[in-house]
Chain A
């Protein structure tokens, strides 16, 4: 993937919190049109990388480039029309309705003189239809289940109409059914032509849904590429210290990680 094809790049960046650097000299190219998943053990720097890509953290050295230009030198509202973000724990104001929350995604398209328009209305309706929440429109966000709420937040980000979407652990706190539902939705958004970057915890979900994987450990990228190429027993061991076997997922043919039993397990008849 050459630099000119990547809409979002990290170049020689040192990223961290305060004086603590999590990553140093980090280089990452987010490939255009792919569903990229960032993987790695806890505290490997994957969320930090996502925050840097989302301009929430400014690298103390190096750059994050959006469309080839330093993301911090561009007006933040202009960036918000290119790059949408679903953070790990967004806050829903008390008593807000689903439709009103989704409508807040239109913020970067509005201005003091450009108030709510018919076009905004259409985009919000489309975003709600795409996430299957149209009939929840008038409901309070606080009455919804976790899975519904996550779809509402995704609709809010969709209403932002950005070709690039960043999702920070979108499946955390959801039960398995809703995890799959959210990932299927992400896959659909990817098929429709968006570039997605998500941080996920589950290796097998990552291998099934991602078209591009970035595996991190100790703040550095350990492996990168298509899941079929890089999800190997050797890489998993290098990234997670986890002895495992890899088999084909019987549903999709993608790699499936089977952790080895550490102690010999008594054979079960």
Chain B
């Protein structure tokens, strides 16, 4: 078949009789449904581990008492520290995974991640600015500043990229420019002011240690709402994957879709970054691995990336609590150690990212 078209015979190159059958062999569904079930099961196990495992060793009885009995000795650790940390870790991981998948789908760039919208630098810039001018403040305030900074940076990138005229290539360039400028700014302030450096040091690594201070209900609602809308974008994103022109022909306005997508990504990645600091590899690597399993259909890629992101971040967090007991390794470091080499592998293996 592959050589038939070079033959000089003008007849159609197809070589077998065809039957206009009714059933079309679309990509198999059973495997992907099973995978989804496996992911949910893995998440359940990781959730239990995250509540049960920590720098203080407990048996399951103590953990159970800590969840159910407010007077028990383990209650403060289990219910007031580990439970919120687990919930927020799940939410942040899901948000990062989904935001990464959306970003890659929207830019048709398999190596894009939410950081490309300047979310991480924006958050960091806001935190150092606040710290420089206001002095020291609590982790709750850090979250607020980080979220605002992430949002401002994302909107700024979008405007620099030409707003309604933003193309994937222009978005990538604008993101790179904003990120570079932002890093320069953050480094400059930190060099000038040691207190700011101290304030930033912990947050900028990416950690869930302080997550229990975060306002849990608003964070979960924000991420949940944005994730709901994000998953609904699967079908128009499937059309956009065929190019802006084809998408237009199919009845998708790429400009409207980009505005919706950037809004959702900003809320997801901004919230997650505010809560646990800039963790880059989840949004980059998770959708990549997911696509290798699900294929390019966003109806599968998006939910898979969301669940896988949550599982990856949870696993990294639990691992970080176990490897250096009684101290712990921040989840951002674990993610980078696991994700960095994998990213290098991707870059070395892949053809140049298609924009």
Residues of A within 8 A of B (CB): 54-56, 75-81, 83-97, 99-105, 107-108, 110, 112, 121-122, 124-126, 128-129, 132-135, 137-138, 143, 145-148, 156-157, 160, 166, 168, 175, 177-178, 180-181
Contacts and interface: CB of A to CB of B under 8 A. Distances in A.
B242 A79 contact: no
A112 B245 CA distance: 23
B108 A107 contact: no
Contacts of A177: 5, 8-10, 13
A84 B235 CA distance: 18
A88 B245 contact: yes
Interface string B1-26: 11001101110111010111111111
Contacts of B19: 134
Interface string B125-168: 00000000000000000000000000000000000000000000
Given A112-B232, A147-B5, A125 B20 contact: yes
A129 B18 contact: yes
Interface stretch (B183-191, B209-217, B247-255, B327-335): B247-255
Q: Which of B12, B25, B250, B297 has the most CB of A within 10 A?
A: B250
Contacts of B5: 145-148, 175, 177-178
Q: Which of B23, B249, B251, B295 has the most CB of A within 10 A?
A: B249
A126 B249 contact: no
B246 interface: yes
A251 to B, nearest CB: 12
7 contacts: A86-B246, A91-B246, A91-B354, A92-B242, A104-B250, A145-B1, A177-B13
A91 B241 CA distance: 7
A133 B12 CA distance: 11
A122 B242 contact: no
B112 to A, nearest CB: 14
Interface in B229-245: 232, 235-236, 238-239, 241-243, 245
B24 A128 contact: yes
Contacts of B108: 91
Contacts of A95: 291, 295-296
B36 to A, nearest CB: 17
A86 B245 CA distance: 8
B22 A125 contact: yes
Interface of B: 1-2, 5-6, 8-10, 12-14, 16, 18-27, 108, 110, 232, 235-236, 238-239, 241-243, 245-246, 248-253, 291, 295-297, 354
Grouping DSSP codes into helix (H, G, I), strand (E, B) and loop, the B interface class, with mixed when no group exceeds half, is loop
B246 A135 contact: no
B27 A104 contact: no
- Shortest 6 CB-CB contacts between residues of A and residues of B: A85-B249, A80-B251, A87-B245, A77-B251, A129-B20, A93-B296
Given A100-B297, A103-B24, A121-B22, A157 B249 contact: yes
Given A99-B26, A145-B1, 10 more contacts: A76-B248, A76-B251, A80-B249, A92-B242, A100-B296, A107-B251, A121-B23, A137-B25, A175-B5, A175-B6
A85 B295 contact: no
Contacts of A99: 24-27
B243 A91 contact: yes
B245 A97 contact: no
A129 B25 CA distance: 13
A105 B238 CA distance: 10
A93 B249 contact: no
Contacts of A90: 242-243, 245-246
B246 A122 contact: no
A104 B239 contact: yes
Q: Which of A100, A105, A168 has the most CB of B within 10 A?
A: A100
A132 B42 CA distance: 44
A61 to B, nearest CB: 20
B242 A104 contact: yes
A181 B12 contact: yes
A148 B110 CA distance: 26
A137 B24 contact: yes
B242 A132 contact: no
A92 B24 CA distance: 19
A180 B8 CA distance: 12
A162 B141 CA distance: 55
A92 B248 CA distance: 15
Contact of A76 (B10, B13, B23, B252): B252
B323 to A, nearest CB: 36
B248 A85 contact: yes
Contacts of B20: 125-126, 129, 134
A127 B21 CA distance: 11
A54 B248 contact: yes
Given A125-B21, A129-B18, A76 B295 contact: no
